[in-house]
Amino acid sequence: MKTTLVYPYKKKMFTGCNPPVSLLYLAAALQRAGQDVSVIDIDEDDRSYAEVLEHIKSESPDLVGVPLYTLALDEGYNFVQFMAKESHPWKLLLGGPHVSVSTDAVMKEFESCDFILRGEAENSIVELTEFLEKGKDLSHVKGLTFRKNGSVINNPEINKQIELNELAFPARDLLKSAYEKNTYWRLGHRGTTDFIITSRGCPYNCNFCFRLARKFRKRSPENIVAELKELKSRGIENVHIMDDLFVWNKPHFFEVVNLIKKEKLNMKFKVRARVNFIDEEMLRAMKEIGVKSVVYGIESGSQIILDAMNKKTTVEMNYRAIRITKQAGLECYGDLFLGYPGETLETIKETERLLLKAKPTAINLSVMYPIPGTHVYDEAKKQGTLRDDWDIHGRKAWIKLPWIESTDELNAIRKRVVKKYLRNPIVFFNGIRATFCKLDWRQFKVLMFYVLKQKEF
Ligand code: B12
Ligand code: SF4
């Protein structure tokens, strides 16, 4: 039984490109179970759908797996439709965040889909392939949705949470050629950049956030450092620790840090952190082990909005986190968005004030997208403020605020805020220092191409 997992989304941006770690986790589980598996990433050599399809055919798989994301549903659909144009011998399996919530809609819209695996799928994908191989009754595969005699069957959820320390590390070998071609990189880091996930689930309940699994589980320090050592042995020197909760438990955080020191890993890190857990001692320790930048979910500069989001942070914590991070000599990145219910021109001004006063090194300011499965989406639906909805043709859901008629208006405001922030001389200077001075030639070319493409700055 051969499975091919495909990542058909272009992840390549002017800021970098990440490997499809979720698929590499699934592949590792299949490999460990003795199954034949391959992984295809569209970003390797900037392939077209036709080239990806040719590659899939050359693998002669029995099962092809594709992830779906709500915000990229149209892209996922286009790819699946492209595959379905020709008859093929394999079964199509869909998985990932979007299918886990909108299962029935996906089964309806994606007519060529044979199976869906809901939730974390390392165990269930192994079960599915083994059941298919042996021709066993699929109604016993937990978390599986499938078609039988014209109807859709949803098997019960997987009750057992996956124990993270027991998982095989992502099967990066399966994308060896992509790694060798330096497909994966981040702006501000020379050479290959990879990412790791040190925990899953989250004990918080931010109203806008989509979580596949709620129960918080973290990997042991030994397990985390073993994966880092493996990355190092592959020649990867830059690692992004992607989960917010890496800093959640201070003793655990220091155990990881001390182990990294002991192993003399000498790598460069970018770390995500929550503003309410960070302090000077942790930042000093981060600097010592090679952390270069910290990313915070700042979200907003308004307390009213932070409270409405149930973020459990304060504006003061946001200011403080940015200040002490920069004081520690680290770059500070902030993720924020505009348009949460309750947002007004005044709350946006507060966000703008925070950006211009605290001056994080770089920001990612977006507009609010309500994702199915989140509290804010459900509430907006109940209150009649949800406009449009996600569909396979690229339509996006948004939440009506009393003072805006479309997300375009919000986007225009967002652009104005970003421009003001970027035109601040200190921000501009820091931005140049954090990016241009650290580029290798290839990254420089990508960035210049992007800058020249912009009509205005
Ligand atoms: C790193 C990351 C990225 C990176 C890299 C993604 C990559 N190459 O894998 C980048 C920056 C490219 C990215 C992009 C996007 N991301 Co993102 N990303 C993440 C992040 C932080 C970690 C993902 C990860 O690797 N998790 C660890 C793995 C093991 O978990 P997992 O991805 O959920 O995978 C498990 C299951 O979902 C399932 N599964 C996943 N894929 C498949 C496929 C098959 C066939 C099967 C059977 C099962 C299956 O099994 C996996 C193993 O248990 C998550 C948040 C999080 N903590 O998970 C957001 C997250 C996945 N991203 C999200 C979103 C919205 C996006 C974007 C749509 C954003 C945008 N505006 O474009 C894009 C879409 C994807 C794309 N175009 O590539 C949302 C998804 C919500 C949703 N309902 O769709 C999340 C959950 C963040 C959030 N809370 O809002 N992302
Ligand atoms: S935004 Fe971060 S802290 Fe909030 S629920 Fe999501 S992962 Fe947890």
Same domain as 212, residue 268: yes
In a domain, 274, yes or no: yes
Ligand 2: nearest atom to the Cα of 205: 5
Same domain as 142, residue 223: no
| Residue where a domain terminates, one of 128, 154, 180 | 154
In a domain, 27, yes or no: yes
Ligand 1: nearest atom to the Cα of 272: 21
HSE, CB side, 13 Å, CA atoms: give it for residue 123.
15
**Do 39 and 171 meet the contact criterion of CB atoms below 8 Å apart?**
yes
Nearest residue by C-alpha to atom 3 in ligand 1: 18
Same domain as 384, residue 265: yes
Low-confidence ranges of the chain (pLDDT < 70): 454-457
In a domain, 209, yes or no: yes
pLDDT tens digits along 381-391: 999 999 999 99
The whole-angstrom separation of Cα 158 and Cα 166 is: 17
297 lines ligand 2 (CB under 6 A): yes
299 lines ligand 2 (CB under 6 A): no
Same domain as 332, residue 269: yes
Same domain as 195, residue 150: no
Q: Which CATH number does the domain housing residue 45 bear?
A: 3.40.50.2300
Nearest residue by C-alpha to atom 88 in ligand 1: 210
296 lines ligand 1 (CB under 6 A): no
With the C-alpha atoms ordered 172, 173, 178, 181, is the resulting torsion angle positive or negative? positive
pLDDT tens digits along 178-191: 999 999 998 878 88
Most ligand 2 atoms within 8 A of CB, residue of 197, 199, 200, 206 to mutate: 206
Cα-Cα-Cα-Cα dihedral of 426, 431, 434, 435, to 10°?
A: -150
Same domain as 275, residue 230: yes
Most ligand 2 atoms within 8 A of CB, residue of 197, 198, 202 to mutate: 202
**Do 23 and 64 meet the contact criterion of CB atoms below 8 Å apart?**
no
DSSP codes of every residue in 329-392: T-EEEEEEEE--TT--HHHHHHHHHHHHHH--SEEEEEE--PPTTSHHHHHHHHHT-EES---T
247 lines ligand 2 (CB under 6 A): no
Ligand 2: nearest atom to the Cα of 311: 4
Same domain as 398, residue 262: yes
pTM of the model: 0.96
In a domain, 173, yes or no: no
Indicate which ligand has the atom closest to the C-alpha of 207.
Answer: 2
Structural domains counted in the chain? 2
Cα-Cα-Cα-Cα dihedral of 261, 264, 267, 270, to 10°?
A: -10
Same domain as 48, residue 134: yes
Nearest alpha-carbon partner for 167 in 87, 99, 224: 224
Indicate which ligand has the atom closest to the C-alpha of 310.
Answer: 2
Which residues have a Cβ under 8 Å from the Cβ of 437 and sit 6 or more positions away?
Answer: none
Q: What is the CA radius of gyration of the chain?
A: 22
Residue 286, amino acid: M
Q: How far is CA 9 from CA 19, 46, 78, 262, in A?
A: 11, 10, 10, 38
Please return the burial class of 346, using the count of CB atoms within 10 Å of its CB with bins 0-12, 13-18 and 19+.
Answer: exposed
Same domain as 199, residue 84: no
In a domain, 316, yes or no: yes
> What residues make up the domain containing 82?
2-154
The whole-angstrom separation of Cα 118 and Cα 155 is: 10
HSE, CB side, 13 Å, CA atoms: give it for residue 275.
27
In a domain, 138, yes or no: yes
Same domain as 356, residue 243: yes
Predicted local confidence at residue 74, as pLDDT: 98
In a domain, 170, yes or no: no
Same domain as 377, residue 332: yes
283 lines ligand 1 (CB under 6 A): no
| Residue where a domain terminates, one of 109, 138, 154 | 154
CA 30 to chain centroid: 22
64 lines ligand 2 (CB under 6 A): no
Predicted local confidence at residue 123, as pLDDT: 96
In a domain, 363, yes or no: yes
| Residue where a domain terminates, one of 154, 173, 198 | 154
Same domain as 132, residue 34: yes
Which residues have a Cβ under 8 Å from the Cβ of 283 and sit 6 or more positions away?
Answer: 294, 324, 325, 328, 330
Q: Which CATH number does the domain housing residue 320 bear?
A: 3.80.30.20
Predicted local confidence at residue 457, as pLDDT: 41
